[in-house]
A and B are shown apart, each in its own frame.
Chain A
Amino acid sequence: MLLAASEHFVRAPQWTWFILGYFFFAGLSGGSYAIATLLRLAGDPRDEAAARIGFYVSFVTVLVCPVLLTVDLGAGWVRFWHMLVNVTPGDQGLSFKYWSPMSIGAWTLFVFGLFAAVSALESFLLDRRGSDSRPFGGPLGLLFNVVGTVLALFLASYTGVLLSVSNQPVWSDTWALGGLFLASGLSGSAALIAWMTRYRPDAAYTLLRLHAAAGYFAILELILLVVFFVTIWFAGVAGRTLPLLPLWILAAVGIAAGLVAARRPARIEPAGGTAAVLRAGSNVVLISLLVLIGVLALRAGVIFSAQ
């Protein structure tokens, strides 16, 4: 489904730093929740500590999202709630347009925020009690996490679809952005959770598994990045991405860091002593930072190539 060479006469919407920040944190929030659920569902009981980190990260990052979106509205910020409620005289009611990614995204952010808050609260209660007995356990708790994960995956991906559903050059000339942002968000989330395991010793068990997952997500991201460039090349707009070469290099370095971490995970040599522990920890931080910078650079490259 390659697009024909396209011509655009549009104005840039000036979605810049706040939107970049939103895309970044939405990717991390959604990705962290999905990874946390996967760890809980598929992982070992010893992965529960890392899963809780994931829920915490998801909640903290989702809190930033509405703030960034509201600030981005400028003078219209007092009407941020119009995203959810139509106040047109004679047509009042909830505003939901399934064909508008921004409309679905606003609802997803709202509903997912509730899921993220409940899951973080549950993790907090479990940590406080020092217990593994979930207050919302059983099939209901499982269902809650699964539904939350569906919303989380949507939150991490719809931002890319939102850009594509426009008439802007580059953005509307590809259909790969939704998948690309999702893969990148998951990759960044795995890196961030891996980083946070440094501050929670009982989560160290999951570190290698997180790096393995980050590697798979990085492969997905790489494939989709290639698809992205192929589609915009066929559309005749690939040249617009060239001035942003440093950002693409950073994105590539981030992907490479994820792959390296999966291939050569940070191990602590038994004979290495304290120095080996510190070195392994520093490697995790460095790799996580590179992956996260790559996640941010990728979004910046996409956003600014059209504006």
Chain B
Amino acid sequence: MAAIKPGESYGFFTDTSICIGCKACEVACKEWNQLEGNSPQFLADSFDNTGQLDAQNWRHVKFYDKVPDNPTNAGSGTAWLMMSDVCKHCKQASCMEVCPTGAIVRTEFDTVFIQQDVCNGCRNCVAACPYSVIGMNQQTGTAHKCTLCYDRLQGGLQPACAKACPTQSIRFGPLAELQQAADVRLATLHSQGVTQAQLYGRDDSVYGGLNAFFLLMDKPETYGLPNAANAHLPSRNDLGGYAIAVVTAVAALVAGLVAFRRRVTG
């Protein structure tokens, strides 16, 4: 891969059609970022014992195994769905929009980064993130999520998860290159009759486009991702919320004036 240069947009292209659910990405992420991980739990949810993205899990391999148990021919059956989930580093990031402290910034690599020394743990970003990515670290009192290995990028290294992925399901690179590769892969799958394959976040239909985008083998909702119709920025309610508050305030002031101008009788 060419040298990593500040000023260029970088991201992940995660091709779920070739994810084998090995969780090497989760391990590599934890190892590089020195994340202790949560206490092991039996979740009774397929091969998933991570559960969710949070302050200790910045990569999470999701398993969707609720498929019909019918015998199928190679290439024509319904397969388990596996997806290595991660922060999407949205172009229009909900977390960044609502953060009151300025802790969430866009880096020189066009990724979304939470500055730990600025964050004060208000959790507004947690309420805003539509992907349930951000988690709170109770020890530090700050919000945590994937940094897209900001420190590695600064050192010219690709993120640990992409480096560790044995099937190249997770690819890292300049966004334009990744988008081209995704288009080619989608066209290949469609030509093979895999018509359900679709790109998620490749274009600007969700949050202005995602720096970490996906090739999915089913609808976004199946993977726990909001579709384009449900991908809203928090600020959509700014105007309506304040408008109704102003109307109420005016009505209340009038009501107060009427009540307090009334003469007391009896």
Which A residues have a C-beta under 8 Å from some C-beta of B?
A: 1, 4, 6-15, 34-35, 38-39, 42-44, 47, 73-77, 79-80, 82-83, 86-88, 91, 95, 97, 99-103, 106, 153-154, 157-158, 160-161, 164-168, 171-172, 175-180, 182-183, 186, 205, 208-210, 212-213, 215-217, 219-220, 224, 227, 267
Contact = CB atoms under 8 A, between A and B. Distances in A.
A106 B131 contact: no
B187 interface: no
B257 A182 contact: no
Given A73-B141, A167-B232, A212 B259 contact: yes
A47 to B, nearest CB: 7
B127 A15 contact: yes
A42 B257 contact: yes
B120 interface: yes
Given A216-B255, A220-B248, A167 B141 contact: no
B120 A88 contact: no
B244 A178 contact: yes
Nearest to B131: A9
A14 B101 contact: no
B237 A172 contact: yes
Contacts of B94: 167
A301 to B, nearest CB: 17
B229 A4 contact: yes
A164 B141 contact: no
Interface of B: 52, 54, 94, 97-103, 105, 115, 117-124, 126-132, 134-136, 138-142, 221, 224-227, 229-230, 232, 234-235, 237-238, 240-245, 247-249, 251-253, 255-262, 264, 266
B252 A217 contact: yes
B256 A35 contact: yes
Given A210-B259, A213-B260, 10 more contacts: A11-B52, A11-B134, A38-B260, A42-B261, A83-B120, A153-B245, A161-B238, A165-B128, A208-B264, A220-B255
A43 B243 CA distance: 28
Contacts of B132: 9-11
Contacts of B135: 11
Contact of A75 (B102, B121, B122): B121
Query: Most A CB atoms within 10 A — which of B230, B241, B257, B266?
Result: B241
A160 B130 contact: no
Nearest to B239: A175
Contacts of A88: 102-103, 105, 115, 118
B178 to A, nearest CB: 23
Nearest to A166: B127
A76 B100 CA distance: 14
The 4 closest A-B pairs by CB, nearest first: A75-B141, A76-B121, A76-B141, A175-B240
Given A38-B256, A101-B238, A106-B100, A79 B266 contact: no
Nearest to A171: B127
Nearest to A228: B244
A208 B260 CA distance: 9
A150 to B, nearest CB: 9
A167 B102 contact: no
Nearest to B233: A167
A82 to B, nearest CB: 4
B27 to A, nearest CB: 23
Query: Most B CB atoms within 10 A — which of A14, A83, A167?
Result: A167
